Structure 1
Amino acid sequence: MITPRIDSRAASGLWPQKPRIAAVLASAVAALALTGCAGWEYRENVCSSGEYPVLAVGSTGSACVSDKEEPSAGYARYPEGKVPQEVGDKWDVYWQTHTLDEDGKTVDVP
């Protein structure tokens, strides 16, 4: 008597397709690695959530202060509409060469 063989593999012949699937996946991974995730740009915020940036009076220094606090002595809030939000944005670059004097006027850095 011949005993039927129990085979967990489907009779549709999916096993020969495994090398093709592996080749497609390997190609996709290689393409992603070679493009270096082109088009994705990381932007870093100047301050963390719950903080705002302040400018050191008389210099280009800056700091971050809790939303619940006022700036400490020697620091001032940035003028309205000229607050840097991200590292390297328009206002972050601007304040590298400008500052506020003791009267709150914008001046060039000496």
Structure 2
Amino acid sequence: MRTTNRLRTTLGLALAGVTVTLFTSACSMQDAVCGGDEYPVLRVGSAGSACASDDEEPPKGYARYPEGKVPEHVDDKWDKYWQTRSIDENGKTIDLPEEND
């Protein structure tokens, strides 16, 4: 009987450890740039972005990101890339001036 109780206790502790691991790793996942049914858009000529509905064109003053350079998660490679760049009215990538404090 004691062996059965020890086995249950060990299994219970193992399951609790797995549960804690799953919850803490889920909290550390990167946030999506936009929610479901939306896509990210870039402000033309300046810093800034927004999310547009999948069934709509970008709002005035915004454009779609160039293909292959679309940020998907906050602070991913392309999100960081576009923090110092934008596109001009012709769709050409431009560097943004550095901010002075």
Q: TM-score range by the shorter chain?
A: 0.7 to 0.9
- Structure 1: state its 5+ residue gaps: 1-13
Gap change, CA 1:51 and 1:20, over 3 Å in 2: same
| Cα distance change on mapping 1:82 and 1:31 into 2, 3 Å | closer
The question of 1:17 aligning with 2:3 is answered yes
Most deviating of 41-50 and 61-70: 41-50
Distance 1:31-1:67 versus aligned 2 partners, 3 A rule: closer
TM-score (norm 2): 0.72
1:105 correspondence with 2:95:
no
* Consecutive aligned runs of 4 or more in structure 1 exceeding 6 Å deviation: none
Aligned Cα RMSD in Å?
Answer: 2.6
Matching residue's letter, 1:62: S
Percent identity over the alignment is 52
Aligned length: 94
- Displacement, 1:77? 0.8
Of structures 1 and 2, the larger Rg is shown by: 1
Residue 81 (structure 2) pairs with residue 91 (structure 1): no
| Greater per-residue helix proportion | 2
